[in-house]
Amino acid sequence: MRAGFAAIVGRPNVGKSTLLNRLVGQKVAIVSHKPQTTRGRILGVVTRPDAQVALLDTPGLHAARGGLNARMVQRALQTLADADVALFLIEAGPPAVDSATRRALDQVKASRKPTLLLINKIDQMPREKLLPLIDRWKDFHGWSEIYPLSALTGENVDGLLDLVARHLPESPPLFPAETWTDVEERQLCAELVREQILRFTEKEVPYSAAVVIEQFDESERAKGPRGLVRISAQVIVERDSQKAIVIGKGGARLKEIGSKARHEMERLLGAKVFLQLHVRVEPGWTQSDKGLRRAGYED
């Protein structure tokens, strides 16, 4: 039996969380088309008879200027340092390697971990461009493997875990076989609200929003075939203008965010959900330790 930790790292928006969810077969991490969606380390465990792969999704590596963003990059690098193997994810695209991707690669190289290069999003690239792309990337690093795939369509995803497992140490399982994450349900629910905020707001609002669960009442969960969970959550933003955007005209946007998030929560919890959302302004929370703590980003 092999078992260990594989950190999924790379630039923002390359599809790390989509890959985690695909491999685990559960929605562990929220996904959006906006960069910097993931803010912390997210564990997803896959257990097979021959191996247990503990995947660690991480925030995208980028040039962060302090506050929440610097904390996110720091969290990604910490996670990488703790892993047995690194999965460096890039997007299939032009063979030219931009400076930001180069910087991210340098950080992965500095970790001195065995590293697999995963070329994601091959569904959006003509087939004949793949080999030149692989050729271009071959010389950048002593890769343990180079592996093209599409996390979105699932193309070539089967087989990836075999490769990853080969780079894990011989070990008994690290988690019980039925474990697929260590993220608590209430935290998963908070993220489901944030996912809808990312979908329904623009510009700086997604980056200024956090969600904290205030109440998670399961007292009626066991009642009947489909019990009830009462959830109340606070959406924290940095400015009054952002609060107005999140709420929308006559509360329409907040209602839409809540209704979509509630639907996802019901799927996750297998229960009916009664969801209440409130918006609160915490000026500049992304930039101060106290603000980060109050928004649920403890260290």
Ligand X SMILES: Nc1nc2c(ncn2[C@@H]2O[C@H](COP(=O)(O)OP(=O)(O)OP(=O)(O)O)[C@@H](O)[C@H]2O)c(=O)[nH]1
Site residues for ligand X per CB under 6 A: 12-18, 31-33, 35-38, 59-60, 120-121, 123-124, 150-152
Left if phi > 0, otherwise alpha if psi is -120 to 50, otherwise beta: which for 13? Answer: left
State yes or no: residue 17 binds Mg ion (CB under 5 A): yes
Exactly one of 38, 115, 187, 242 binds Mg ion (CB under 5 A); which one?
Answer: 38
- Smallest gap from residue 136 Cβ to ligand X (A): 19
Choices 30-38, 93-101, 250-258, 283-291; region in contact with Mg ion by CB under 5 A: 30-38
Q: Name which of 2 and 16 has its Cβ closer to ligand X.
A: 16
Burial letters for 119-140: b for 16+ Cβ neighbours within 10 Å, e otherwise?
Answer: bbbbeebeeeeeeebbeebeee
Q: Is residue 37 close enough to count as binding Mg ion by CB under 5 A? A: yes
Per partner kind, with CB cut-offs from 5 to 8 A, the member of Mg ion, ligand X, none near residue 237 is none
- What distance lies between CA 57 and its chain's CA centroid? 5
| CA 277 vs CA 206, 211, 232, 253: distances in Å | 16, 9, 6, 11
Phi, psi of 81 (to 5 degrees): -65, -30
Least distance from ligand X to the Cβ atom of residue 37, Å: 4
Residue 36 site contact among Mg ion, ligand X, none (CB < 5 to 8 Å, cut-off depends on kind): ligand X
What does 14 bind: ligand X, Mg ion, none (CB cut-off 5 to 8 Å by kind)? ligand X
Query: Where on the chain is the footprint of Mg ion (CB under 5 A)?
Result: 16-17, 37-38
